[in-house]
Amino acid sequence: MYEWKLNEIVDNNLCASCGTCAIVCPNNIVVFENSPKLKEECLRKGHGMCYDICPRVSSGGYQIRIRGDFKEKEEYYYGRGDVEGQDGGVVSTFLKYLLENKKIDGAIVVGDECWKPVSLIVQNPEDIEKSAKSKYAISTLDALRKAGEIGIERVAVVGLPCQISGLRKLQYFPYLAKYDGEPNKNGIQYLIGLFCNKKFEQRSIEEVLEKNNLNMEDIEKFDIKKGKFIITTYNSEKHSIPLENIEYCEGCNVCRDFDAQMADLSVGCAGSPENYSTVIIRTKKGEDIKDTIELKEGVNIEFIEKMRKLKMDRFKGEIERRRNNGEKISYYWITDYGGVGKRAE
Ligand SMILES: Cc1cc2nc3c(=O)[nH]c(=O)nc-3n(C[C@H](O)[C@H](O)[C@H](O)COP(=O)(O)OP(=O)(O)OC[C@H]3O[C@@H](n4cnc5c(N)ncnc54)[C@H](O)[C@@H]3O)c2cc1C
Ligand code: SF4
Ligand code: SF4
């Protein structure tokens, strides 16, 4: 195994398997398959951008919130779009609007090959629908790298909170050629975060299906409701599997961000009626959703707070467990989540 600074995160089960480090290496020597590793020796031993953008690495006490256009108080709504999605189809409807109105040149989404997540660039509004609905296994951000390589200039990215945190740092990092103290004028235009409690191992999802005599080709939708993994088939059969039966990404145990706090807007189902999506608007950019979807007030914010607390409690429990077992504790969390340091200045 090659010497790489991020091994301290990966080998100690702190890695979020977000895939961000794998898309920023200028030498393209970081490969990602469920977790990242080096495929060749790195002359800098990983003391580079991959380390700096990792959401599990603290980059100083200053918050990106100070530098970004974050609202003092986020706005909560719920709504429903015109695309059939996981919940209210809000994410896909917004992406369609951004493409149709030429606010972006491409959307970085997670499609699937028989429910195996695939990172995709979508440039045609009509194709957005095909990438709707949640895939609950580990995915990559490969399409974002590809978009840069083929010259797609302005993109919106949909990501889990860990990915959004890494990508928000990326927007501000001085290594980027176009950096001028502001987020890139080109590049990532919108960060759309999904609520998240954990993501699962694809292999384990496949095993669960096999045990229940189900084929991936027959699955219409996966969902997580009240601690159960719900599998719906095209002939409307529903199977409810206890979440404990599915292996999840260990690094999720040290995650504290339920609702993608670094996103321009965050979307989930917690706090909304069935078949609606909850929308949290956090930045000026995020407000563009208001031009797309009729948003209603009345989200059950207490429920969202309960979910945040559950995640925080899991995090604290994991730290305690690690402390008792003498396992590594990384101190990225001594500062607030995902800050980008301005250091002395
Ligand atoms: C792993 C995971 C865990 C989640 N946990 C919760 C939870 O605990 N509570 C909650 O309220 N909501 C959770 N969500 C979010 C929820 O499932 C919906 O994605 C959200 O409500 C948006 O629904 P929609 O109908 O508006 O989106 P849609 O219009 O269906 O669009 C969904 C978008 O998400 C993208 N996408 C799908 N899978 C992934 C993925 N793995 N990574 C990144 N992007 C992806 C799709 O490409 C699409 O653009 C989770 C989602 C995922 C993927
Ligand atoms: S958390 Fe993300 S950026 Fe950090 S090592 Fe893991 S995959 Fe790479
Ligand atoms: S819980 Fe969700 S956001 Fe947190 S590390 Fe796991 S996948 Fe990422």
Rounded (to 5) percent helix, strand, coil in the chain = 35, 25, 45
Asked whether 197 lines ligand 1 (CB < 6 A), one says yes
Whether 280 and 265 have beta carbons less than 8 Å apart is answered as: yes
Q: Report the pLDDT averaged over residues 76-93.
A: 98
pLDDT tier at 187, thresholds 50, 70, 90: confident
Asked whether 162 lines ligand 3 (CB < 6 A), one says yes
Asked whether 109 lines ligand 1 (CB < 6 A), one says yes
Mutational pocket test of ligand 1: of 104, 134, 223, the residue with most ligand atoms within 8 Å of the beta carbon:
134
Q: Start-end ranges of CATH 3.10.450 in the chain?
A: 202-245
Asked whether 249 lines ligand 3 (CB < 6 A), one says yes
Distance 124 CA to ligand 1 centre (A): 20
Model confidence pLDDT, tens digit, residues 215-264: 999 999 999 988 899 999 999 999 999 999 999 999 999 998 999 998 99
Of 319, 240, 237, 304, the residue nearest 272 (C-alpha): 304
Q: Is 224 exposed, middle or buried (0-12, 13-18, 19+ CB in 10 A)?
A: middle
pLDDT tier at 344, thresholds 50, 70, 90: very low
Rounded-to-integer distance, Cα 107 and Cα 129, Å: 12
Nearest bound ligand to the CA of residue 22 = 2
Distance 22 CA to ligand 2 centre (A): 8
* Statement: residue 179 has pLDDT above 50: no
- Using CA atoms, how far residue 329 sits from 9, 153, 339, in Å, is 10, 38, 18
List 232's β-bridge partners, or say none.
221, 238
Q: Interior CA angle at 252 toward 248 and 254, to 5°?
A: 145
- Return mean pLDDT, the chain: 89
Asked whether 202 lines ligand 1 (CB < 6 A), one says no
pTM: 0.95
Model confidence pLDDT, tens digit, residues 310-333: 999 999 999 899 999 999 887 665
Which residues have a Cβ under 8 Å from the Cβ of 303 and sit 6 or more positions away?
Answer: 270, 271
- CATH entry, 202-245, from 1.10.150, 1.20.950, 3.10.450, 2.60.40: 3.10.450
Residue 218: HSE in the Cβ half-sphere, 13 Å Cα cutoff: 15
